[in-house]
Amino acid sequence: MSGSSSYVKQAKAADPEFFHGNRRKLREFCAQLTIKFVTNPELFPSETSKIGYAASYLRGHAFSLYASMIHDGEMPFKLFSDFQKFLEYSFGDPDSRTTAEHELHNLRQ
């Protein structure tokens, strides 16, 4: 074999863990999705491909809530940012500031 090969193997990000609607796992789930999308953008050429991929990792109550929004085969969101807002509204901490302050206080003890 002569010369150097120009083939470079691209890193493959791990798939996210399934999200069941646990409020404490939401930030981790969203971070895992972001890593996947940034590391492998060729797999997600559109907003709907990102949403479809992320929705395929919803389980239990999280999936049921999302599925209830699908009508006549139409996805309920056109932008991934809207899908993320749905997750935050549905499963996020309604008072994240107080929770963070409480956790910080507990760390100091």
d(CA 85, CA 63): 15
pLDDT of 74-97, one tens digit each?
889 999 999 999 999 999 988 767
With vertex at residue 17, the alpha carbon angle to CA 14 and CA 18, rounded to the nearest 5 degrees, is: 140
Residue 65 within a domain = yes
* 3-class secondary structure per residue, 31-60: HHHHHHHHHCHHHCCCHHHHHHHHHCCECH
Residue 15 within a domain = no
pTM: 0.79
Q: For the chain, how many structural domains are there in total?
A: 1
Residue 71's pLDDT band (cuts 50, 70, 90): confident
Can you give the residue range of the structural domain that contains 36? 23-108
pLDDT of 6-46, one tens digit each?
666 677 899 999 999 999 999 999 999 999 999 999 999 99
Residue 18 within a domain = no
Residue 3 within a domain = no
Residue 7 within a domain = no
d(CA 71, CA 82): 17
